[in-house]
């Protein structure tokens, strides 16, 4: 996967605890896979939200094919799964791609 200025940073099994669980801000983790068309559909939406909400929310991506331990630890079975963590705890789970407006509405109560 290539990284561009508009892409969301990636985390791995090795960096998950420090990057997500230890974050001061709430963190939305995008459990994704290269072979997943809905994952590709939601990626630009997440990049936009990450840029607009960077003062209130971190968004990171975790490739489930190369990081199976974290996927298994949180019981993620479908891609994309968006898992919102606050203070190291998962507080919201959203499964499937959705438009930006709907995603922001679904996150409004936890931001």
Where in the sequence numbering do the catalytic residues fall? 36, 39
* Whether the Cβ atoms of residue 85 and residue 27 lie closer than 8 Å to each other: yes
- Among residues 20, 38, 105, 28, the alpha carbon closest in space to that of 78 is found at 38
Burial bucket for residue 54 (CB in 10 Å: 0-12, 13-18, 19+): exposed
DSSP-assigned beta bridge partners for residue 93: 83
Per DSSP, 38 falls in state H
């Amino acid at each position: 996967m290539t990284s561009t200025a508009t892409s969301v940073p990636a985390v791995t099994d090795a960096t998950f605890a420090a990057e997500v669980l230890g974050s001061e801000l709430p963190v939305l983790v995008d459990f994704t896979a290269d072979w997943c068309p809905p994952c590709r559909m939601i990626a630009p939406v997440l990049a936009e939200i990450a840029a607009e909400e960077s003062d209130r929310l971190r968004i990171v991506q975790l490739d489930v094919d190369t990081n199976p331990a974290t996927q298994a630890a949180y019981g993620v079975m479908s891609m994309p799964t968006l898992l919102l963590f606050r203070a190291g705890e998962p507080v919201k789970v959203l499964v499937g791609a959705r438009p930006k407006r709907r995603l922001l509405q679904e996150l409004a109560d936890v931001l």
